[in-house]
């Protein structure tokens, strides 16, 4: 397992030493292999972003010297809704949270009264008990917008960063989670 | 008072049995066994996978294609026509094609070379049925895949790198779930432990009773990519063979359960 880890790391350090700042995981041979999978497949995989490359190189456990700059860069990518409101309309957040092809949040988190939750992510049951303070809204919004700013290389999608949800849509999901009137907080969560 | 405690006792017992039942359904292996038994009872002893095996045997032995030949001379690594246990030895390097091939791509190679089929005329459903037939002759045999040839070692390394590669709009990759979240559920099934659980790769090809589909490892890999919001690699392509080689090597020593019967 480990025998490929060291050479890639060394290669990367070498790359850094030669003034190359963007880390790369895909070498010429891996690129040729991926291209053999067909054009659509190659187009997606070969477009690997530098931060995705870092998580691949370090197998999702970033070393201390990489961690700081990584988190800083992820934080810089976060954008907010134009009207500045981080808590939108919980009724618009509900279908986003509960639809496979949109947020798909329920697949990994317990808490929804509409879908049985999974356990890949932490339980969000009665998330609204944490209150609606500005800090709580900001934290919730930012974790959904770019979870790697808080949990580097975790499995959760970076919804805002990767353009899967608009800032306003993320604010609706924040409301679904935090608004005391939201079904998420007034109705019992479905569990297995 | 006595009646009250009897009622409480009954309620506790009922709750306990519910918990036990729920636990049984949580284990996909036990759940599949239960479903298999049920299907066998309903059908009088025939599983849907038996029908694929039967169909595959007919396709394998029939004289077909422009060359009007059967596949009986196909070499899956133990010599022409020797089929017992071959699934546990694939993927491996073949000198005739100078390629590392898995079960699917080797069947395709023989359909092209022995029967004279053009690649575009090869039906996927035929390849799957033939894979089921060959798999049935490897049941309970061990997985012995060990990359030794330079070509095999190279492809194993690339398969491992591909396994850990994260990409796409959801930042996904195989290891993201099958290493980091082993045993956890997103949806119905818990993620299998591809690095440590030898059963994970040793039951392919398999019949999926939940959607009545016959799948080889290639179909499984392609479905994973689709679930991750990424385009899948083409059938018979090298990324599929590389990932299969990596996974089957982790399964070395397992006794194969073929064709598999899974959710």
Closest chain A residue by Cα to residue B242: A33
Closest chain A residue by Cα to residue B26: A192
Residue % of chain B over a pLDDT of 90:
66
pLDDT digits 0-9 by tens, A128-146: 999 999 999 999 999 999 9
**Burial environment of residue B21 by CB neighbours within 10 A (0 to 12, 13 to 18, 19 or more):** exposed
Is the pLDDT at A90 greater than 60? The verdict is yes
Contacts of B226 (CB under 8 A, 6+ apart): B232
Calculate mean pLDDT across residues B123-146: 96
**Nearest-by-Cβ selection for B158 from A29, A52, A162:** A29
Token duo for residue A28: 């010429």
pLDDT of residue B12: 45
CB contact under 8 A, A33 and B242: yes
Q: What distance in Å separates the CA atoms of residue B79 and residue B62, rounded to the nearest whole number?
A: 20
Closest chain A residue by Cα to residue B195: A1
- List beta partners, residue B113: none
pLDDT digits 0-9 by tens, B83-119: 999 999 999 999 999 999 999 999 999 999 999 999 9
Average model confidence (pLDDT) across chain A: 91
Chain B residues inside the 8 Å CB shell of A118: 184-187
Q: If you ran DSSP here, which 8-state letter would residue A51 be given?
A: H
The residue that leads in pLDDT, A186 or A18, is A186
CB contact under 8 A, A118 and B184: yes
Q: What distance in Å separates the CA atoms of residue B11 and residue B9, rounded to the nearest whole number?
A: 5
Confidence of residue A6 (pLDDT cuts 50, 70, 90): low
pLDDT digits 0-9 by tens, A155-177: 999 999 999 999 999 999 999 99
Is the pLDDT at B29 greater than 70? The verdict is yes
Residue A159: name the closest of A145, A169, A147, A173 by CA: A145
Cis peptide before B91 (omega within 30 of 0): yes
pLDDT of residue B72: 96
Residues B191 and B182: beta-carbon distance below 8 Å: yes
Closest chain A residue by Cα to residue B161: A30
Catalytic residue among B110, B174, B177, B224: B224
Query: Among A7, A12, A31, A33, which would you mutate to test the B interface (most chain B Cβ atoms within 10 Å of its Cβ)?
Result: A33
pTM above 0.80, yes or no: yes
Token duo for residue B79: 């010599």
Q: How many CB pairs under 8 A join A and B?
A: 110
- How many C-beta atoms surround the C-beta of residue B26 within 10 A? 12
- List beta partners, residue B92: B101
pLDDT of residue A175: 98
Looking at this predicted complex, what is its ipTM? 0.86
CB contact under 8 A, B171 and A158: yes
CB contact under 8 A, B184 and A119: yes
Q: What distance in Å separates the CA atoms of residue B191 and residue A183, rounded to the nearest whole number?
A: 30
**Burial environment of residue A80 by CB neighbours within 10 A (0 to 12, 13 to 18, 19 or more):** middle
Lowest mean pLDDT among A21-30, A46-55, A72-81, B76-85: A21-30
Chain A residues inside the 8 Å CB shell of B173: 56
Residues A51 and A74: beta-carbon distance below 8 Å: yes
Is the pLDDT at B16 greater than 50? The verdict is no
> Is B224 part of the annotated catalytic residue set?
yes
Residue A159: name the closest of A177, A174, A175 by CA: A174
CB contact under 8 A, B165 and A192: no
Confidence of residue B4 (pLDDT cuts 50, 70, 90): low
Q: If you ran DSSP here, which 8-state letter would residue B233 be given?
A: P
pLDDT of residue B33: 83
pLDDT of residue A185: 97
Average model confidence (pLDDT) across chain B: 89
The residue that leads in pLDDT, A21 or B162, is B162
**Nearest-by-Cβ selection for B173 from A1, A56, A107:** A56
The CA-atom distances, in angstroms, between A118 and each of A109, B43, B46, B74, B236 are 5, 34, 35, 45, 33
**Nearest-by-Cβ selection for A164 from B157, B167, B169:** B169
Chain A residues inside the 8 Å CB shell of B242: 33
pLDDT of residue B52: 94
Chain A residues inside the 8 Å CB shell of B181: 120, 155
């Amino acid at each position: 397992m480990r025998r490929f880890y060291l050479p890639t790391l060394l290669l990367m350090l070498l790359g850094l030493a030669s003034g190359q700042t963007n880390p790369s995981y895909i070498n010429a041979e891996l690129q040729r292999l991926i291209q053999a999978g067909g054009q659509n497949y190659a187009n997606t995989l070969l477009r690997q972003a530098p931060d995705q490359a870092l998580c691949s190189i370090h197998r999702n456990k970033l070393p201390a010297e990489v961690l700081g700059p990584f988190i800083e860069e992820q934080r810089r990518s976060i954008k907010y809704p134009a009207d500045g409101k981080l808590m939108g309309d919980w009724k618009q957040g509900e279908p986003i949270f509960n639809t496979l092809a949109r947020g798909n949040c329920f697949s990994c988190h317990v808490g929804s009264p509409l879908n049985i939750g999974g356990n890949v992510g932490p339980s969000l049951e009665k998330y609204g008990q944490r209150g609606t303070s500005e800090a709580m809204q900001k934290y919730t919004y930012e974790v959904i917008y770019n979870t790697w700013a808080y949990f580097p290389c975790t499995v959760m999608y970076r919804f805002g960063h990767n353009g899967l949800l608009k800032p306003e849509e993320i604010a609706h999901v924040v409301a679904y989670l935090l608004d005391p009137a939201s079904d998420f907080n007034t109705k019992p969560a479905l569990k297995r | 008072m006595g009646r009250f405690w009897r009622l409480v006792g009954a309620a506790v017992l009922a709750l306990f049995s519910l918990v036990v039942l729920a636990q049984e359904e949580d284990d996909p292996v036990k759940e599949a066994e239960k479903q298999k038994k049920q299907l066998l009872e309903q059908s009088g002893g025939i599983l849907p996978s038996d029908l694929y095996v039967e169909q595959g045997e007919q396709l394998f032995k029939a004289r077909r294609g422009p060359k009007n030949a059967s596949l009986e001379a196909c070499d899956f690594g133990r010599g022409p026509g020797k089929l017992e246990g071959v699934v546990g030895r694939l993927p491996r390097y073949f000198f005739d094609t100078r390629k590392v091939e898995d079960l699917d791509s080797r069947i395709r190679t023989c359909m092209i070379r022995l029967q004279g089929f053009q690649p575009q005329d090869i039906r996927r459903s035929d390849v799957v049925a033939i894979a089921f037939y060959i798999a049935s002759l490897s049941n309970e045999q061990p997985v012995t895949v060990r990359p030794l040839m330079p070509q095999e070692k190279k492809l194993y390394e690339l398969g491992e790198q591909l396994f850990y590669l994260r990409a796409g709009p959801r930042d996904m990759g195989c290891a993201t779930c099958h290493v980091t979240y082993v045993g956890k559920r997103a949806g119905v099934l818990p993620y299998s432990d591809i690095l440590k659980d030898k059963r994970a790769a040793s039951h392919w090809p398999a019949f999926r009773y939940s959607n009545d589909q016959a799948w080889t490892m290639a179909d499984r890999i392609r479905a994973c990519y689709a679930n991750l919001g990424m385009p899948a690699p083409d059938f018979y392509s090298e990324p599929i063979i590389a990932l299969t080689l990596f996974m089957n090597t982790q399964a070395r020593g397992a006794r194969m359960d073929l064709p598999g019967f899974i959710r």
